[in-house]
Amino acid sequence: MLFHVRMDVAIPRDLDPDVRAETVAKEKARALEIQRSGRWPHIWRVVGQYSNISIFDVESADDLHELLWSLPLFPFMTITIAPLTTHPSDLAVQ
């Protein structure tokens, strides 16, 4: 199943700088791990924001839920999700 996911990150300004740096490093490592598994095939930065737009290719909504909850920055994210399906006008399905 494909999902369009937007993640907006808002780390509190008063978070200890060392905790922030450690959390961001863990986030990057976890994101790379998921991408290497093939379940996070696309990620784009939203210009001028601490946000990304991603495509996840997972077995189920439950699988996506577990992946998102495993992200170290998850407590600081606002996430919007849209399930995707093929479009009848897509050249790939013609």
- Out of 3.20.20.70, 3.30.70.1060, 3.50.50.60, 3.90.180.10, select the CATH number for domain 2-93: 3.30.70.1060
Q: Which residues contact 72 (CB under 8 A, 6 or more apart)?
A: 23, 26, 27, 30
> Nearest 10 degrees: CA dihedral of 61, 42, 44, 91?
-100
Q: Which helix (H) or strand (E) holds 3?
A: strand 2-9
26-52, pLDDT tens digit by residue? Answer: 999 999 999 999 999 999 999 999 999
Domain boundaries, the chain: 2-93
Contacts of 47 (CB under 8 A, 6+ apart): none
pLDDT at 20: 97
Query: Residue 38: what pLDDT?
Result: 98
pLDDT surpassing 90 at residue 93 = no
58: region left, alpha or beta (phi > 0 left; psi from -120 to 50 alpha): beta
Q: Taking the model in full, what pTM does it have?
A: 0.91
Percent of the chain at pLDDT exceeding 70: 100
Identify whether the C-beta of residue 23 lies closer than 8 Å to the C-beta of residue 16. Answer: no
Residue 94 has pLDDT above 80, yes or no: no
